[in-house]
């Protein structure tokens, strides 16, 4: 039974006699039963934990005021980047507090928009979300995926853009897949899994993805199997039709490892074979476009920060590959082709830099951005002379610009009206030394004139994994935090993609401890430089970032006043046994490998909690329908933390219902969760 630590009566959690042997080491797993989310015992436990958590949160007097301010600030029009197919433009818009954004279409930018699909009408509580979109290149058909309660499983339908009516097409058991139309507009390629067991579809492991072609007006059972590999259960397939309609590009991945294979099929000949152009998992190859038989790729082969190469499929030997854009000092994040030119998105110390090159790789110009921040978009077709991009920073809400590819001029297209003055805040970027001497950048945003007296409540957010780059972005939650006098800090930890593949690999597998060392060093820098103190410092992260928080709070419980691990990977010995968890072995390593097991066991949050230890005030957050990082991770960690913890600080778990890993979460649930997290920090960090 779990012990009682005044003033909290935590729900008792049964401990079972479960012991597993890993490479000669016996490891207890007393809360294994919590891995079954549908058992009556687990449901009772979830309800009891939520009762404790929500009762505690309801007693925080500032919570309602925080919620009102978050709601007030959130209530502004939000636009997505417009894109064009055929003679139509498409864009998403949210009026302010709509649970889901709505898709509109129009035939000219100054014309009247017409609603195409409103996901808010698909459920009363906003828990059905649009999770995929592919419009035929004539602009007349739209394939779209919908997800229920945040699940990764999606169902796909097809809508006639002109009439707004759905066709008869209905596809199931699609996961980790988009759709790509053929140029006759008669169907599209997509990837799916075999039908799972209904009772365990949110936990069962996902293997053997298959690539199909769906012809409009036919049942899914008649879809054409394009490619699968019964001998490769981990292979996943992404099918993309080239802009000229000639080829199907098949990117083959093994989970989250950035290395991939590239195959192709000539669509002019229905009986053409699938050709293995790049048959080895040696580097990342991202298809950009083609000029006839010449394919352009962005790759990190022999260029960890990225470059552009050309491969002629009629002469595909490596000795004939051509280098088009050389590796730069900055990290190449993405490449597109517009106005018959390459538009490249670079990261320079985690800030965006957009450069344009001609097709021979000669530099043309750099796009002048509105400031230091993140830019994205620049979508469109090969010969388009116009495009759109979005710019954001820690103090700039997502603002959309129209860009003229010929003149190089940016014109403001949509600027949100948020009820705050950005001039009241400032962002600076500092560099600090990690444990091994590595220089790590960190963004710090706060009110201007902040007094460095070591007493400022500080929210330290991190991720550090899977080649993901954390770049400046605007957040209502962070704005409310800073309005309350808080500091918001984001270090660019190893494991991310900010400095290319070498930076990523420096935070994976046997090097994963570097990520935690980087995060701990960021906390120490903030304390040493009088931004804050341990009792005023909160740490937060989600998914792999939840693992980050869990590992750091177990390694340095003295360093933090509060911890908010969200949907985290907490059991590093069993993560690979659920849904897509096996795919993360590329970053984490495998518990079945003795050397990697030792590294995993050394930092696994669940296995490194120490009895009779005073941990920071902690609120774990997860969701009962999370089929990416199954909630068992958070359930087991919460039970073990409540058992080990001593002291008066609360250790709680907040379990969202009818929600998943985060994608598609309705606005109402997002605002409630923000209010709960900030209220928890107000009390935990003793903010006035």
Residue pair 668/659 in contact (Cβ under 8 Å)? The answer is no
Active site includes 626? yes
Distance CA 293, CA 212 (A): 24
Q: How far apart are CA 46 and CA 50, in angstroms?
A: 6
The rounded distance, in Å, linking the Cα atoms of 424 and 436 is 36
Catalytic residue list contains 533: no
Q: Is the dihedral of CA 619, 624, 628, 634 positive or negative?
A: positive
Exposure string of 243-275, with b = 16+ CB inside 10 Å and e = fewer, is eeeebbbbbbbbbbbbbbbbbbbebeeeeeeee
CA distance 586 to 591: 12
| Residue among 169, 517, 624, 626 flagged as catalytic | 626
Sign of CA dihedral 666, 669, 672, 676: negative
Can you say how many angstroms the Cα of residue 368 is from the centroid of all Cα atoms in its chain?
27
Pair of tokens at residue 166: 């759905």
Q: Is 661 among the residues known to form the active site? A: yes
CA 467, distance to chain mean position in Å, is 11
| Spatial CB neighbours of 271, under 8 Å, sequence gap ≥ 6 | none
Residue 22: strand pairing partners? 25
Contact 674, 70 (CB under 8 A): yes
Residues 110 and 435: their CA atoms lie apart, in Å, by 55
* CB-count burial class (<10 Å; 0-12, 13-18, 19+) for 177: buried
Do residues 140 and 161 touch, judged by C-beta distance below 8 A?
yes
Question: Is residue 412 a contact partner of residue 423, using CB atoms and an 8 Å limit?
Answer: no
Q: Find the catalytic residue in 289, 518, 661, 676.
A: 661
Q: Which residues are catalytic?
A: 543, 626, 661
């Amino acid at each position: 039974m779990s012990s009682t630590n005044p003033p909290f009566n935590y729900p008792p959690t049964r401990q079972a006699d479960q012991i597993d042997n890993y490479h000669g080491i016996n490891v207890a797993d007393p809360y294994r039963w919590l891995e079954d989310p549908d058992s009556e015992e687990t449901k009772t436990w979830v309800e009891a934990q939520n009762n404790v958590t929500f009762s505690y949160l309801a007693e925080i007097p500032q919570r309602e005021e925080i919620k009102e301010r978050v709601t007030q600030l959130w209530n502004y029009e939000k636009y997505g980047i417009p894109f064009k197919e055929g003679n139509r433009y498409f864009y998403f818009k949210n009026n302010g507090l709509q649970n889901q954004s709505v898709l509109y279409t129009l035939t000219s930018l100054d014309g009247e928009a017409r609603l195409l699909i409103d996901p808010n009408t698909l459920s009363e509580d906003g828990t059905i979300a649009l999770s995929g979109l592919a419009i035929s290149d004539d602009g007349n058909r739209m394939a779209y995926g919908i997800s229920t309660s945040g699940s990764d499983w999606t169902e796909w339908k097809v809508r006639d853009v002109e009439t707004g009516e759905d066709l008869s097409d209905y596809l199931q058991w699609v996961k980790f897949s988009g759709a790509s139309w053929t140029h006759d507009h008669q169907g599209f390629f997509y990837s799916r899994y075999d039908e799972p067991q209904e009772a365990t579809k949110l936990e069962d492991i996902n293997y053997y993805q298959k690539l199909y072609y769906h012809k409009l007006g036919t049942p899914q059972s008649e879809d054409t199997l394009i490619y699968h590999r019964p001998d490769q259960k981990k292979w996943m397939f992404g099918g993309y039709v080239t802009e000229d309609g000639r080829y199907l590009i098949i990117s083959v991945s093994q989970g989250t490892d950035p290395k991939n294979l590239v195959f192709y099929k000539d669509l002019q000949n229905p009986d053409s074979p699938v050709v293995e152009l790049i048959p080895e998992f040696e580097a990342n190859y991202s298809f950009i476009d083609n000029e006839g038989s010449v394919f352009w790729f962005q790759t990190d082969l022999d260029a960890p920060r990225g470059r552009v190469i050309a491969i002629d499929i009629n002469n595909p030997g490596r000795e004939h590959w051509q280098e088009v854009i050389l590796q730069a000092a900055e990290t190449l994040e993405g490449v597109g082709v517009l106005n018959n030119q390459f538009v490249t998105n670079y990261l320079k110390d985690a800030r965006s830099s957009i450069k344009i090159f001609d097709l021979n790789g000669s530099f043309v110009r750099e796009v002048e951005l509105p400031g230091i921040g993140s830019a994205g978009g620049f979508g469109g077709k090969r010969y388009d002379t116009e495009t759109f991009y979005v710019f954001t920073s820690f103090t700039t809400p997502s603002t959309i610009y129209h860009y003229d590819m010929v003149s190089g001029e940016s014109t403001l297209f949509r600027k949100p009206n948020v009820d705050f003055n950005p001039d009241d805040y400032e962002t600076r970027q500092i560099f600090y030394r990690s444990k091994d001497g590595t220089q790590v950048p960190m963004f710090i945003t706060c009110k201007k004139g902040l007094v460095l007296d070591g007493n400022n409540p500080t929210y330290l957010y991190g991720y550090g994994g899977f080649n993901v780059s954390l770049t400046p972005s605007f957040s209502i939650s962070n704005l409310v935090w800073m309005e309350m006098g808080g500091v918001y800090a984001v270090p660019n930890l190893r494991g991310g993609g900010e400095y290319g593949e070498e930076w990523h690999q420096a935070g994976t597998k046997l090097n994963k401890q570097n990520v935690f060392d980087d995060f701990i060093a960021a906390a120490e820098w903030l304390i040493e430089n009088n931004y804050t103190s341990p009792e005023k410092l909160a740490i937060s992260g989600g998914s792999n970032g939840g693992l980050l928080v869990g590992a750091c709070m177990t390694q340095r419980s003295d360093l933090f006043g509060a911890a908010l691990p969200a949907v985290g990977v907490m059991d590093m010995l069993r993560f690979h046994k659920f849904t897509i968890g096996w795919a993360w072995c590329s970053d984490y390593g495998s518990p079945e490998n003795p050397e990697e097991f030792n590294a995993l066991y050394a930092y696994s949050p669940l296995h490194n909690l120490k009895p009779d230890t005073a941990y920071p005030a902690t609120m774990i957050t997860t969701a009962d329908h999370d089929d990416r990082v199954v909630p068992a991770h958070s359930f087991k960690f919460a039970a073990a933390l409540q058992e080990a913890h001593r002291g008066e600080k609360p250790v709680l778990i907040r379990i969202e219902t009818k929600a998943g890993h985060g994608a598609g979460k309705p606005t109402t649930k997002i605002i409630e969760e923000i209010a709960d997290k900030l209220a928890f920090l107000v009390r935990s960090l003793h903010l006035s």
